[in-house]
């Protein structure tokens, strides 16, 4: 682009602004080379972009959370989901989960924990800390499909929330710009679709996951 050139957005002539669902980019963390190979294939076959790393430390490095300012160039692709093994040397999956939830930049990224051990207190601890879900190893295709659907559903809900608030803003703008005669107001429930209700989503997701998890264990 030359200096002074303005970028024009290409609007399809049909006027269709709907976005086809983009691919999820998943960061998979596991110290086992066998499990990394399997989870990578499971995710690829489920139409996800995958990056695998062998440790919690590497995961933080990839995200640029390890304090090394130079690492930020690596993450060209936005991460939509983190899937991590629980038992790893050094940083456990739980430690990684905590670090991600403590980060203002990354805390919204859903984290799923995998473990070969069905230890209820461990599961509870992870869900309490904000894990989206907990998968028992060995991981199967059905597990990955379920997780993907859950994440896509949540992302769609977030988009709907966003587009509602955008529509409201647009309507207000039109109101201000046009004559004083009132235009029909947007749906009365729009006041609930503001930022504060979006903050409620993570905890309600957690509670739902916890219930689902517990009912399947009983």
Partner 1 sequence: MDTLVAQLQRQFRDYTISLYHQLFWYVKGFLDDQFTELKKLQDECSPDFVAEVVSLFFEDCEKLIGNMARALDQTGNVDFSLVGSSVHQLKGSSSSVGAKRVKGLCVTFKECCDSQNFEGCVRCLQQVDIEYKSLKAKLQDLFNLEQQIVQAGGRIPQVDI
Other Cβ atoms within 10 Å of 147 Cβ, number? 24
In order, the DSSP letters of 122-134 are HHHHHHHTT-SEE
**For the CA atoms of the chain, what is the radius of gyration?**
21
Query: Pairing between strand 25-29 and 81-85?
Result: parallel
**Nearest residue (CB) to partner 1, 136 versus 152:** 136
In order, the DSSP letters of 32-92 are -HHHHHHHHHHHHHTT-EEEEESSHHHHHHHHT-SS-GGGGGG--SPP-EEEEES--SSS-
In the bound complex, what is the minimum distance in angstroms from residue 35's beta carbon to partner 1? 5
Q: How many residues bind partner 1 (CB under 8 A)?
A: 17
Residue 140 in contact with partner 1, rule: CB under 8 A: yes
Residue 45 in contact with partner 1, rule: CB under 8 A: yes
Q: Binder to partner 1 among 120, 141, 156, 217 (CB under 8 A)? A: 141
Piece of the chain touching partner 1 by CB under 8 A; list 30-38, 60-68, 158-166, 171-179? 30-38
Taking phi first (over 0 means left), then psi (-120 to 50 degrees means alpha), and beta for anything else, what does residue 15 get? left
**Nearest residue (CB) to partner 1, 54 versus 66:** 54
Q: Which of residues 62-121 bind partner 1 (CB under 8 A)?
A: 87, 116
In the bound complex, what is the minimum distance in angstroms from residue 38's beta carbon to partner 1? 5
Residues pairing with 162 in the sheet: none
Residue 145 in contact with partner 1, rule: CB under 8 A: no
CA angle 12, 13, 17 (to 5 degrees): 40
Other Cβ atoms within 10 Å of 5 Cβ, number? 7
**Nearest residue (CB) to partner 1, 45 versus 119:** 45
Residue 208 in contact with partner 1, rule: CB under 8 A: no
In the bound complex, what is the minimum distance in angstroms from residue 47's beta carbon to partner 1? 12
- Residue 181 DSSP symbol: S
Residue 153 in contact with partner 1, rule: CB under 8 A: no
In the bound complex, what is the minimum distance in angstroms from residue 34's beta carbon to partner 1? 4
In the bound complex, what is the minimum distance in angstroms from residue 116's beta carbon to partner 1? 5
| Interface positions with partner 1 (CB under 8 A) | 31-35, 37-38, 41-42, 45, 87, 116, 137-141
């Amino acid at each position: 682009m030359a200096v002074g050139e303005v970028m024009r957005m290409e609007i399809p002539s049909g006027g269709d602004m709907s976005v086809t669902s983009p691919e999820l980019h998943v960061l998979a963390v596991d110290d086992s080379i066998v499990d990394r190979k399997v989870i990578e294939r499971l995710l690829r076959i489920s139409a996800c972009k995958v990056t695998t790393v062998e440790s919690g430390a590497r995961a933080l490095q990839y995200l640029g959370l390890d304090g090394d300012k130079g690492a930020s160039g690596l993450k060209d692709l936005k991460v939509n989901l983190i899937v991590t093994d629980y038992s790893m040397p050094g940083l456990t999956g739980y430690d990684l989960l905590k670090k991600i939830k403590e980060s203002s930049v990354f805390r919204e990224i859903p984290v799923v924990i995998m473990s070969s051990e069905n230890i209820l207190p461990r599961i509870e601890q992870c869900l309490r800390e904000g894990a989206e879900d907990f998968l028992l190893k060995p991981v199967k295709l059905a597990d990955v499909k379920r997780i993907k659907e859950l994440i896509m559903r949540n992302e769609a809900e977030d988009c709907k929330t966003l587009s509602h608030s955008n529509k409201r803003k647009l309507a207000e703008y039109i109101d201000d710009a046009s004559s004083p005669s009132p235009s029909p107001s947007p749906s009365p429930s729009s006041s609930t679709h503001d930022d504060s209700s979006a903050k409620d989503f993570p905890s309600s997701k957690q509670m739902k996951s916890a219930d689902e998890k517990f009912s399947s264990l009983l």
